[in-house]
């Protein structure tokens, strides 16, 4: 596993709210809701923090078993990578080994909950339509239409 | 990133094709001798539609009838040129791209360039092109066999591009109101926003649209009406008898929905725009009662953004950021839809009375 990840390109669009992040993958129509610990991790990836730095930040912010926190964070980053939302970075010139901001240390540490995301694939069908097949001599389609709902 | 020379080449190709298409329209208009112009007031802007003949007029214009105006503007914010080849005898020039260049939304890869937008909709056999710089759009269809959804929400691609050029956004949402203020009803198809908005219309509330409205950000977030047409499943027709009386067509065998025009019911309920004071995310619960539960702006964005972005050519990051800003400006609620349908407009009405 790499130690550094970045948001995987301009086709991954996202917006962070107080403790939630909404992510759209323009390549395949999937979209995701991240909250609490998963939202924190996403924001830290955005800042350029390395995975070890993210793990440390989560240990500072949340009360949990150190080993469990580390395992949960690395597994979650892997899941984000498997969904092609983040990509491993080889050049670490801009990485940070200290996770800075966006996540201020809280006055009270809440119990650590394993980061998860909600994944929605109901928009994929819009990207799977292929209504254009053959063309006629004018260069424009001349086949019967495929009926779809709007 | 596209190399500069390639970008220039794409822009030239796009502009050249647009000019060729526009010349074809002018020939169709001249050959058919008709002056079929319609003027509309859309999102506080003047829009002119020029039809080469009358063939497409009864198919595409009824959805905009509530926005018709007689006030002529010498410089409309948008001029649209519309024709079909079957009735005019004028063909569209051959495409300047290969068949493999289409993406899944019908856009041509590498053709979104120089401020020219283009999409081919296979289900309608129709081409839409928009030149931002000239505020000029072309809609061409092979014939007049347009599917029901093209007649209930016509020219959507062009309006999507044009709205963005005006710093507005065409979204997949309904909007209703009372006392001059409104709420957005948002979510993907099937969550109940269209049914909710039509129940509200039937109950006498002000109405902007059941599935598509134009949004404006700013100190007073606003929604504008675009279509007064809605499409109804047979089950919706059964539940809303008042609307059923005005249905224009019975669903043909290959079409699951009927087209209904709200203007036929009560034109006074149709509004051109409303300031939006809340966003509601309908959710079918299966319970009897309908209720409102506050939710986060993130929940509204998750309901609003995906269906808007993935159904609209060219909608991407800027549209997403627009919506993210919009949902932060007003309160957000889950509208838990109960099976007692009367409670739905009553719940919305109570909220509107509270926020007006």
A85-131 pLDDT per residue, tens:
999 998 666 555 554 545 566 778 899 999 999 999 988 776 655 55
Size (chain B), residues: 356
pLDDT mean over B142-158: 88
State how far the alpha carbon of A136 is from the alpha carbons of B123, B127, B141, in Å.
16, 15, 14
pLDDT at residue number A2: 80
Which residue carries 């999102």 as its tokens? B43
Chain A residue with CA closest to B98: the answer is: A139
Nearest to B94 among A126, A139, A149 (CB): A139
DSSP class per residue in B217-254: -SSS-EEEE---EEEE-HHHHHH-HHHHTTBS-PPPTT
With beta carbons under 8 A apart, name residues in chain B contacting A34: none
With beta carbons under 8 A apart, name residues in chain B contacting A142: 142
Token pair, residue A86, equals 């983040």
Chain A residue with CA closest to B97: the answer is: A139
Q: In degrees to the nearest 10, what's the CA dihedral of B291, B294, B295, B301?
A: 80
Max mean pLDDT range (A121-125, B50-54, B253-257): B50-54
Chain A residue with CA closest to B318: the answer is: A13
pLDDT mean over B163-173: 96
Chain A residue with CA closest to B300: the answer is: A22
Average pLDDT, chain B: 89
pLDDT at residue number B103: 75
Please say whether the beta carbons of B109 and B91 come within 8 A.
no
Query: Per-residue pLDDT tens for A22-76?
Result: 999 998 999 999 999 999 999 999 999 999 999 999 999 999 999 999 999 999 9
Question: How many Å apart are CA B269 and CA A106, to the nearest integer?
Answer: 51
Please say whether the beta carbons of A106 and A20 come within 8 A.
no
Contact of B253 with chain A, judged by CB distance below 8 Å, is answered with: no
Query: Per-residue pLDDT tens for B66-107?
Result: 999 998 788 899 999 999 999 999 999 998 887 777 777 778
pLDDT mean over B261-278: 90
With beta carbons under 8 A apart, name residues in chain A contacting B189: 149-150
Among A112-121, A141-150, B131-140, B214-223, the minimum mean pLDDT is found in A141-150
> In this model, does residue B112 exceed pLDDT 90?
no
Please tell me the distance in Å from A66's CA to the nearest CA on chain B.
30
- Interface size A-B, in CB pairs within 8 Å, comes to 106
Among residues B36, B151, B33, which one has the least CA distance to residue A150? B151
DSSP class per residue in B283-314: EE-SSS--EEEE--HHHHHHHHHHHHHHTSTT
The β-bridge relationship of strands B116-121 and B206-209 is unpaired
Contact between chains at B95 and A26 (C-beta distance less than 8 A): no
Question: How many Å apart are CA B21 and CA B3, to the nearest integer?
Answer: 27
Which residue carries 């937008």 as its tokens? B117
State how far the alpha carbon of B330 is from the alpha carbons of B185, B214, B295, in Å.
13, 16, 11
Please tell me the distance in Å from B176's CA to the nearest CA on chain A.
21
pLDDT at residue number A130: 53
Share of chain B above pLDDT 90, in %: 66
Question: How many Å apart are CA B222 and CA B210, to the nearest integer?
Answer: 16
Contact of B320 with chain A, judged by CB distance below 8 Å, is answered with: yes
Give the largest CA-CA distance in chain A: 72
pLDDT band at A147 (very low <50, low <70, confident <90, very high): very low
Token pair, residue B75, equals 């410089």
Which residue carries 């409104």 as its tokens? B182
pLDDT band at A137 (very low <50, low <70, confident <90, very high): confident
pLDDT mean over B8-35: 89
Contact between chains at B123 and A120 (C-beta distance less than 8 A): no
pLDDT at residue number A80: 98
The β-bridge relationship of strands B258-261 and B229-232 is antiparallel
Chain B residue with CA closest to A132: the answer is: B122
Q: Cite the DSSP H helix spans in chain B.
A: 4-32, 57-60, 85-88, 148-152, 156-165, 193-202, 234-239, 241-244, 297-310, 317-328, 343-355
Q: Give the number of other Cβ atoms within 10 Å of residue B342's Cβ.
A: 11
Please tell me the distance in Å from A89's CA to the nearest CA on chain B.
19
């Amino acid at each position: 596993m790499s130690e550094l990840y970045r948001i995987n390109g301009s086709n991954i669009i996202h917006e962070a709210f107080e403790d939630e992040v909404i992510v759209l993958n323009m390549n395949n129509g999937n979209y995701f809701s991240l909250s609490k610990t998963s939202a924190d991790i996403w924001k830290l990836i955005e800042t350029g923090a390395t995975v070890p730095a993210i793990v440390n930040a989560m240990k500072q912010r949340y009360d949990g078993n150190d080993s469990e926190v580390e395992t949960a964070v690395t597994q979650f980053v892997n899941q984000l990578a498997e969904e092609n939302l983040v990509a491993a970075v080889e050049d670490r010139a801009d990485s940070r080994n200290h996770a800075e901001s966006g996540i201020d240390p809280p006055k009270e540490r809440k119990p650590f909950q394993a980061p998860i995301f909600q994944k929605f694939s109901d928009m994929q069908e819009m990207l799977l339509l292929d209504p254009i097949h053959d063309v006629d001599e004018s260069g424009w389609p001349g086949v019967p239409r495929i009926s779809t709902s709007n | 990133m596209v190399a500069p020379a390639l970008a220039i080449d794409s822009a030239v190709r796009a502009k050249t094709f647009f000019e060729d298409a526009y010349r074809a329209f002018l020939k169709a208009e001249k050959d058919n001798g008709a002056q079929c112009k319609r003027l509309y007031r859309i999102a506080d802007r003047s829009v002119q539609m020029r039809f080469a003949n009358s063939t497409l007029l009864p198919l595409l214009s009824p959805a905009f009838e509530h926005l018709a105006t007689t006030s002529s503007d010498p410089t409309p914010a948008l001029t649209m040129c519309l024709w079909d080849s079957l009735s005019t005898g004028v063909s569209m020039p051959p495409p300047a791209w290969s068949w493999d260049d289409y993406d899944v939304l019908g856009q041509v890869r590498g053709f979104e360039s120089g401020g020219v937008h283009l999409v081919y909709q296979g289900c309608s056999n129709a081409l839409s092109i928009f030149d931002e710089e000239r505020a000029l759009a072309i809609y061409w269809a092979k014939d007049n066999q347009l599917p029901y959804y093209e007649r209930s929400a016509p020219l959507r691609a062009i309006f999507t591009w044009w709205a963005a050029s005006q710093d507005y956004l065409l979204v997949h949402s309904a909007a209703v109101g009372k006392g001059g203020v409104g709420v957005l009803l948002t979510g993907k198809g099937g969550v109940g926003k269209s049914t909710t908005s039509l129940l509200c219309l039937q109950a006498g509330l002000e109405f902007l649209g059941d599935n598509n409205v134009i949004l404006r950000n700013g100190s007073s977030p606003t929604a504008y009406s675009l279509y007064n047409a809605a499409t109804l499943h047979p089950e919706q027709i059964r539940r809303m008898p008042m609307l059923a009386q005005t249905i224009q067509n019975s669903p043909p065998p290959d079409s699951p929905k009927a087209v209904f025009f709200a203007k036929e019911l009560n034109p006074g309920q149709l509004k051109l725009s409303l300031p939006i004071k809340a966003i509601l995310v309908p959710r079918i619960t299966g319970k009897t009662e309908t209720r409102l539960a506050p939710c986060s702006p993130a929940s509204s964005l998750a309901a609003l953004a995906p269906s808007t972005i993935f159904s609209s050519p060219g909608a991407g990051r800027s549209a997403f950021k627009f919506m993210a800003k919009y949902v932060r400006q007003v309160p957000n609620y889950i509208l838990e839809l109960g099976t007692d349908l009367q409670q739905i407009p009553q719940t919305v009405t109570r909220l509107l009375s509270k926020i007006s």
